[in-house]
Copies of this chain bind each other. A is one copy, B any other.
Amino acid sequence: MIEIIVLGSGNVATHLFKAFSAAEGVNVKQVYNHAEASLDFFKGETKTTSKISELAEADIFLLALKDDVIPQIAEKLSQKNGLIVHTSGSVPLDALSTCTRRGVFYPLQTFSKEKTVDYSQIPFCLETNRVEDLQLLKDLAGKISGKAYEISSQQRKQIHLSAVFVCNFVNHLYAVGEQLCQKGEIPFEILKPLISETAKKIEQASPAAVQTGPAMRNDVSTINTHLELLGSSENRKIYELLTSAIQSFHGKKL
């Protein structure tokens, strides 16, 4: 049985808490948050506290907290015997340097409060300062997911950066698509099968190998029609830059 104390009450804390609670061989002993009111969801499920001084001992202390408070909370846990881990994509392992046993347990996924998540599909990026603790984190990931990767702090930074492109920036392009549909009084529904297929396509193929569209075809007439439609909007800048980026990536020239 792996005993855990979760610190935090946001999306990541809530989703991981649910996953651990449903899993065999994991026990969430306690949930901490500095604001008592945020603990309502966890009350009745396990013990809760808003005081660091009231924290029990555990195998793992999971800091699912905002990036900038991780070092100061970790410092307060420096006397604990358990493994202190954070769940952030962009915070280095060294941010926990006040703790003897430290690690990272970063789930590479986008969490929404309402939407349930299939943990068997989530890659966990793991890192520890002690070799023997890596196995503990692998065991923990194994309880809720099939996929664990050993990833250094530097690699994790690079993964987090990549995630901004394929998740946050992609989502903004979806938002632009919705905005353009609204402008043309077209239901956004009509684009959803295309969005879904575009994501599915790269499960089997390299995205570079399946690039299509006017930029790739060097279809100047369509590109000009589109620029005209976009007028002088912010979206025009995106169209121009991504068209030229696709062409330079694939060695084409307008």
User: Knowing A222-B90, A229-B157, A249-B172 touch, does A180 contact B198 (C-beta < 8 A)?
Assistant: no
Shortest A72–chain B CB gap in Å is: 15
User: Knowing A178-B208, A211-B175 touch, does A194 contact B158 (C-beta < 8 A)?
Assistant: no
A238–B229 touching, CB < 8 Å: no
B172–A108 touching, CB < 8 Å: no
User: Which chain B residues lie closer than 8 Å to A172 at the CB level?
Assistant: 207, 211, 242, 245-246, 249
User: Which chain B residues lie closer than 8 Å to A193 at the CB level?
Assistant: 108-109, 121-123, 147
CA A155 to CA B200, docked complex, whole Å: 26
- Considering only CB atoms and an 8 Å cut-off, how many residues of chain A contact the other chain? 94
The verdict on A131 contacting chain B, using a C-beta distance below 8 Å, is no
A201–B115 touching, CB < 8 Å: yes
CA A203 to CA B246, docked complex, whole Å: 27
Copies of this chain held together in the complex: 2
B229–A175 touching, CB < 8 Å: no
A123–B249 touching, CB < 8 Å: no
Q: Mark A141-170, 1 if CB is under 8 A from B, else 0.
A: 000000101010011011111111111111
User: Which chain B residues lie closer than 8 Å to A183 at the CB level?
Assistant: 158
User: Knowing A167-B195, A241-B241 touch, does A162 contact B175 (C-beta < 8 A)?
Assistant: no
A–B pairs, 7, beta carbons within 8 Å:
A67-B219, A157-B229, A161-B229, A165-B239, A168-B212, A172-B246, A238-B242
